[in-house]
């Protein structure tokens, strides 16, 4: 059983989520291009989401001095990138497996079948599940243990893996099946001479025709395809100066028709979404420690923040202040707090549903009317259970915790946002400590079950009927095969690289070796049916050298982001919900300086918003990393296609 880490207003050393370590180049990178910003080396990968594997050491709070990190050594100027002994594919001295012979099957992460663990009889979900490539355990790609920074809530050293022998065979078998036609993939990388029009996806993974299509909309979606998909940098928001060994949270980014708003250090700033001109600024006494991902149809949202700036003597002032914000007007509508006894409650999360702002904590949940600030409910001192957090949007869903830590039971409750009255409830099996709300309509919950050492907050997805509270199906997503991430520990609504629509859940596979070279990496997006729990057979290829992540739904279509290889810019694509054909919507500049900033903002931890031909990428932590390397750091960058 894992133990809970310190609360989210105490980031791990090095800045919490932060930018991950960049991919090793496939070939020697070209000489630096003149252009945007200053060339930047990629910072080391920072901790991401996930439930802890061992009890972490107590960490200092925001603003507390952190041990400085040494800058990453750049790759050698010539020759392919070097791999540490025992790592990667085909490294000298590594035992080789005869081609086509499988390695020993990986152990079932759930052990022997457990009766009634999820309302199923023995022989059900406890059995080994096919992996991302339709194979039984033992052939799935295992992420090598590279010398990366540990994930948040995980011990140093990263994920546990099987032998390197299994890794080699996994890549060989997967590639052989793909090339041999053993699996069906959406053919998204070939260019059949068609333009990127509404119903055609010519060049995608490899870059394709920059002039895109002639306009229009993708089928079942509202996003228009620009006449020219080649994007340029609209603006960038430099990170304010941060003191040495200091990290601040800068959670929150939103987009309306007239404003792109982004949390800074103890402030929220509204920018013109095309020019980057500052439209308004809301000054705060302390850092924004939680921010709603949702807003009302009138563009009202909510944040939680500290009442004072952190100091060395007092590294956190507590995330006790809750405010509603009018994003169009740039106004702070009201500020509220709640107490347990004579102590202010530090909030772990905040969300918006209908006209309600809801916050959760280990002391219970509270809610206010977003327009007036009227209190709707507060924690009850005599309550034996508590609302740890909420998921907002179309419906309001509470993650309610009951029982002691070693005998916990989570109640997933759909509630009336105006009164807090429970509409339906699903009780998860005892022993599951954390859960995340992936979607409130349809209701999809993610949890890390058992000892899945590769998971980052997700090992299983639960599809639940909103009206009855009954489990529809449970989908196994082993952490060594799928790359979706959630922070159900303190922020139940914070899930990345996963989307829900068309009564399906879309998840990316873990990276695996591509077809281009030994150093090429790629992955796919796979769809699961929320009624049956089975794969639909739909797969979207990232394209060689790219890795693809779901962002959100656009009607019946899926919007996804492609993280680029070393010599190209990232892309945004629309994936048709029926055919799974990809239509390129935007492709960022490939110059080194621009790409360095883009790839410092990972889709597994940063905030990415795409709408109407514009991509906004922003950080959730601001640290002094750049000051130690002399590089310029950015809070946000915006791209736009014509």
Per-residue pLDDT tens for 21-50? 444 444 444 444 434 443 344 444 444 333
**The domain containing residue 552 runs over which residues?**
164-641
Task: Give the model's pLDDT for residue 219.
Answer: 54
Give the separation between CA 620 and CA 265, rounded to whole angstroms.
10
Task: Give the model's pLDDT for residue 471.
Answer: 98
Q: Does residue 212 sit within a domain?
A: yes
Task: Give the model's pLDDT for residue 626.
Answer: 59
pLDDT digits (tens, 9 = 90+) for 164-222: 434 333 443 333 333 333 222 223 333 333 333 222 222 222 223 333 333 344 457 89
Instruction: Please list, in sequence order, all residues whose beta carbon lies within 8 angstroms of the beta carbon of residue 363, skipping any fewer than 6 positions away.
Output: 340, 345, 379, 386
Counting the structural domains of the chain, the total is 1
Closest C-alpha among 424, 493, 430 to residue 465:
424
Q: Does residue 418 sit within a domain?
A: yes
pTM of the model: 0.69
Instruction: Please list, in sequence order, all residues whose beta carbon lies within 8 angstroms of the beta carbon of residue 278, skipping any fewer than 6 positions away.
Output: 269, 270, 271
Q: Does residue 605 sit within a domain?
A: yes
Task: Give the model's pLDDT for residue 585.
Answer: 98
Burial class (CB in 10 A: 0-12, 13-18, 19+), 244: exposed
Q: Does residue 204 sit within a domain?
A: yes
Show the 3-state SS of 450-507: CCCCCCCCCCEEEEECCCCCCEEEEEECCCCCECCEECCCCCCCCEECCEEECCEEEE
Low-confidence ranges of the chain (pLDDT < 70): 1-219, 452-455, 626-630
Q: Does residue 375 sit within a domain?
A: yes
| CATH code for the domain of 495 | 2.130.10.10
Instruction: Please list, in sequence order, all residues whose beta carbon lies within 8 angstroms of the beta carbon of residue 343, skipping any fewer than 6 positions away.
Output: none
DSSP state of 407: G
Q: Does residue 63 sit within a domain?
A: no
Q: Does residue 82 sit within a domain?
A: no
Cis peptide before 442 (omega within 30 of 0): yes
């Amino acid at each position: 059983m894992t133990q809970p880490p310190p609360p989210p207003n105490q980031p791990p050393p090095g800045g919490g989520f932060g930018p991950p370590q960049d991919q090793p180049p496939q070939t020697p990178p070209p000489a630096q291009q003149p252009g945007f910003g200053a060339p930047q080396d990629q910072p080391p990968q920072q901790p991401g989401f996930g439930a802890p594997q061992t009890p972490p050491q107590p960490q200092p709070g925001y603003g507390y001095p952190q041990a400085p990190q040494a800058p990453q050594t750049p790759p050698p100027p010539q020759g392919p990138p070097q791999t540490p002994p025992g790592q990667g594919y085909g490294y000298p001295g590594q035992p080789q497996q005869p081609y086509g012979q499988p390695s020993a099957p990986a152990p079932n992460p759930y052990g022997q079948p457990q009766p009634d663990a999820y309302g199923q009889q023995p022989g059900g979900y406890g059995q080994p599940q096919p992996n991302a490539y339709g194979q039984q355990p033992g052939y799935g790609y295992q992420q090598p243990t590279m010398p990366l920074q540990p994930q948040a809530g995980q011990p140093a050293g990263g994920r546990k893996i099987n032998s390197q022998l299994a890794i080699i065979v996994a890549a060989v078998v997967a590639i052989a099946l793909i090339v041999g036609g053993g699996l069906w993939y959406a053919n998204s990388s070939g260019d059949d001479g068609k333009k990127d029009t509404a119903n055609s996806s010519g060049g995608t993974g490899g870059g394709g025709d920059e002039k895109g299509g002639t306009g229009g909309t993708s089928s079942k979606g509202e996003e228009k395809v620009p006449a020219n998909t080649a994007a340029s940098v609209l603006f960038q928001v430099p990170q304010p100066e941060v003191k040495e060994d200091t990290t601040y949270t800068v959670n929150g980014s939103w987009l309306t028709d007239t404003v792109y708003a982004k949390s800074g250090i103890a402030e929220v700033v509204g920018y013109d979404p095309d020019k980057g001109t500052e439209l308004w600024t809301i000054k705060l006494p302390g850092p924004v420690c939680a921010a709603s991902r949702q807003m009302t149809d009138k563009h009202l949202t909510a944040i939680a923040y500290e009442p004072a700036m952190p100091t060395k003597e007092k590294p956190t002032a507590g995330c006790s202040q809750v405010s509603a914000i009018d994003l169009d007007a740039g106004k702070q509508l009201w500020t509220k707090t709640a107490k347990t006894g004579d102590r202010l409650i530090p909030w772990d999360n905040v969300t918006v549903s209908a006209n309600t702002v809801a916050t959760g904590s280990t002391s219970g949940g509270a809610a206010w009317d977003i327009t007036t600030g009227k209190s709707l409910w507060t924690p009850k001192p005599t309550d034996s259970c508590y609302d740890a957090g909420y998921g907002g949007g179309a419906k309001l869903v509470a993650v309610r915790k009951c029982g002691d830590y070693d005998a916990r039971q989570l109640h997933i409750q759909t509630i009336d946002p105006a009164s807090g009255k429970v509409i339906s409830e699903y009780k998860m099996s005892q022993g599951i400590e954390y859960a995340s709300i992936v979607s409130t309509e349809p209701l999809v919950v993610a949890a890390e079950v058992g000892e899945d050492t590769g998971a980052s907050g997700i090992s299983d997805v639960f599809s639940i009927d909103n009206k009855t509270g009954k489990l529809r199906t449970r989908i196994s997503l082993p952490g060594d095969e799928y790359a979706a991430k959630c922070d159900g520990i303190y922020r139940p609504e914070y899930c990345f690289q996963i989307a829900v629509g068309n009564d399906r859940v879309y998840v990316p596979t873990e990276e695996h070796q591509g077809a281009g070279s030994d150093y090429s990496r790629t992955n796919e997006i796979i769809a699961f049916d929320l009624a049956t729990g089975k794969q639909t057979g739909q797969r979207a290829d990232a394209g060689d050298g790219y890795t693809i992540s779901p962002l959100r739904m656009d009607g019946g279509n899926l919007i996804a982001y492609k993280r680029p290889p070393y010599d190209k810019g990232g892309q945004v694509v629309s994936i048709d919900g029926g055919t799974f054909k990809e239509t390129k919507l935007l492709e960022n500049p490939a110059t080194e300086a621009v790409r360095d900033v883009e790839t410092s903002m990972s889709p597994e931890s940063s905030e990415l918003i795409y709408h109407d031909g514009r991509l906004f990428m922003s950080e959730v932590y601001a640290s002094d990393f750049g000051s130690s390397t002399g590089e310029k750091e950015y809070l946000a960058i915006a791209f736009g296609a014509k």
